[in-house]
């Protein structure tokens, strides 16, 4: 049995993609996470047992609150050990996020093998602290200073739903005419104010193409009201969240988004993109993620400061006016993809389990 530990939804999804592969190979998988976090409950909805331990992330500045966070992290280790023993785990897979540290320590203390997954272009704090306890660390990208047998560049796992997404099915689900031009705007699960503002300013009133705008659940009402006030019309469709987001990517001719883990979905599905990295991401890892697709020829990088209505309108208009360029960018995205990442990490997990 494997315990896949993840914190937020961004950490849960690649761990879930790995879990799907392991389950298909006949390996029992359960998850341990933090109750009340964005990713909590997702594994259970996919049929995986799920345990929880109390935990919080560190503030990035000096704060008395961090004393309590450290105490919780210390207490999480024996709680994690109880989970591992109850589930009879053979391998601990740390899916990233602050829960990976206690999970790795608990795995080492109980003589279990530990595999870590890093989904971004830089090793996160939790994975940096947990790396000494790991047998293998699966990297989405090559990371400077992380070499040797322990570190393996595998890419970031994407789910079967991502790999199976098609343009025709995406358009059928979203009710988009197969012949229409479609632009997808997405700011991540929490939304992105700069992208939301720029998109309305760029494409309203009356956009000449279909816009599917995923604004984030907390922003959806406000963005919908502003879109209506700006005269966006029925071609401008605002959603808070889409369960079948991979199909929305597949339905689009061009995607405008942040550059978190979704860059791997863009690559796997093969869609050209305009990427706006979140400027306050830890260690600026979203810029590194965006640069990966940009250097492959699959994306244009736009800083958050540059993301204005006029600039976005200019970029989108220029790209849509050159269908040949969009095709080249789409092919470059597919060429950069690592669709077998989940299978490669599953091989690592099985390998360390046999040891």
CATH of the domain at 25: 3.40.50.2000
Give residue 151's domain range: 2-158+339-354
For the cut 60, the answer to whether the pLDDT of residue 339 exceeds it is: yes
Task: Tell whether 25 and 107 lie within a shared domain.
Answer: yes
**Tens-digit pLDDT profile for residues 112-138:** 999 999 887 778 778 888 899 999 999
Q: Which residues contact 82 (CB under 8 A, 6 or more apart)?
A: none
Task: Tell whether 300 and 350 lie within a shared domain.
Answer: no
Q: Which residues contact 280 (CB under 8 A, 6 or more apart)?
A: none
Whether omega for the bond prior to residue 205 falls within 30 degrees of 0, making it cis, is: yes
Task: Tell whether 343 and 331 lie within a shared domain.
Answer: no
Q: What is the pLDDT of residue 11?
A: 78
Q: What is the pLDDT of residue 63?
A: 66
The closest of 314, 310, 307 to 290, measured between CA atoms, is: 307
For the cut 70, the answer to whether the pLDDT of residue 65 exceeds it is: no
Higher pLDDT, 159 or 3: 159
Task: Tell whether 146 and 108 lie within a shared domain.
Answer: yes
Task: Tell whether 174 and 74 lie within a shared domain.
Answer: no
Token match 């300013």: residue?
A: 201
**Tens-digit pLDDT profile for residues 272-316:** 999 999 998 877 889 999 999 999 999 999 999 999 999 999 999
Higher pLDDT, 354 or 301: 301
How many domains does the chain fold into? 2
Task: Tell whether 88 and 103 lie within a shared domain.
Answer: yes
pTM: 0.86
Higher pLDDT, 1 or 293: 293
**DSSP letter for each residue of 169-200:** HHHHHHT--TTS-EEEEE--TT--HHHHHHHH
For the cut 70, the answer to whether the pLDDT of residue 189 exceeds it is: no
The closest of 174, 184, 190 to 241, measured between CA atoms, is: 190
Task: Tell whether 280 and 174 lie within a shared domain.
Answer: yes
Q: What is the pLDDT of residue 6?
A: 60
Task: Tell whether 127 and 216 lie within a shared domain.
Answer: no
Please list the helix, strand and coil fractions of the chain in percent, rounded to the nearest 5, in that order: 45, 15, 40
Task: Tell whether 154 and 194 lie within a shared domain.
Answer: no
Task: Tell whether 151 and 245 lie within a shared domain.
Answer: no
pLDDT > 70 in the chain, percent: 92
For the cut 70, the answer to whether the pLDDT of residue 9 exceeds it is: no
Cα 32 from Cα 65, distance rounded (Å): 24
Task: Tell whether 112 and 64 lie within a shared domain.
Answer: yes
Task: Tell whether 150 and 169 lie within a shared domain.
Answer: no
Residue 229 pLDDT grade (very low, low, confident, very high; cuts 50, 70, 90) = very high
Mean pLDDT of 321-343: 96
137 has which bridge partners?
Answer: 116, 151
Per DSSP, 253 falls in state: S
């Amino acid at each position: 049995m494997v315990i896949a530990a993840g914190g937020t939804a961004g950490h849960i999804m690649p761990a879930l993609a790995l879990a799907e592969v392991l389950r298909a190979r006949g390996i029992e998988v359960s998850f341990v996470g933090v109750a009340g976090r964005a990713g909590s409950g997702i594994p259970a909805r996919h049929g995986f047992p799920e345990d929880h331990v109390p935990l919080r992330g560190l503030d990035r500045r000096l704060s008395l609150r961090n004393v309590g966070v450290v105490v919780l992290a210390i207490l999480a280790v024996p709680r994690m050990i109880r989970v591992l023993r109850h589930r009879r785990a053979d391998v601990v897979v740390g899916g990233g996020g602050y829960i990976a540290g206690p999970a790795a320590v608990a795995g080492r203390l109980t003589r279990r093998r530990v595999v870590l997954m890093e989904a971004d272009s830089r090793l996160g704090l939790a994975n940096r602290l947990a790396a000494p306890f790991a047998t293998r660390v699966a990297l989405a990208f090559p990371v400077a200073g992380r070499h040797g047998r322990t570190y393996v560049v595998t890419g970031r796992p994407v789910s079967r739903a991502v790999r199976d997404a098609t343009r025709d099915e995406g358009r059928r689900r979203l009710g988009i005419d197969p012949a229409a031009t479609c632009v997808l705007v997405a700011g991540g699960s929490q939304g992105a104010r700069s992208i939301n503002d720029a998109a309305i300013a760029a494409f309203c009133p009356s956009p000449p193409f279909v816009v599917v705008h995923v604004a984030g659940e907390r922003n959806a009402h406000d963005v919908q009201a502003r879109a209506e006030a700006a005269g966006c019309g029925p071609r401008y469709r605002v959603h808070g969240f889409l369960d079948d987001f991979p199909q929305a990517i597949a339905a689009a001719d061009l995607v405008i988004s942040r550059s978190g883990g979704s860059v791997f979905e863009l690559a796997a599905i093969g869609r050209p993109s305009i990427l706006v990295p979140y400027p306050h991401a830890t260690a600026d890892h979203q810029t590194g993620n965006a640069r990966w697709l940009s250097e492959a020829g699959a994306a244009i990088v736009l800083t958050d400061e540059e993301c204005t209505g006029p600039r976005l309108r200019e970029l989108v208009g220029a790209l849509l006016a050159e269908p040949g360029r969009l095709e080249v960018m789409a092919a470059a995205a597919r060429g950069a993809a690592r669709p077998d990442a989940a299978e490669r990490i599953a091989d690592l997990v099985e390998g360390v389990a046999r040891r």
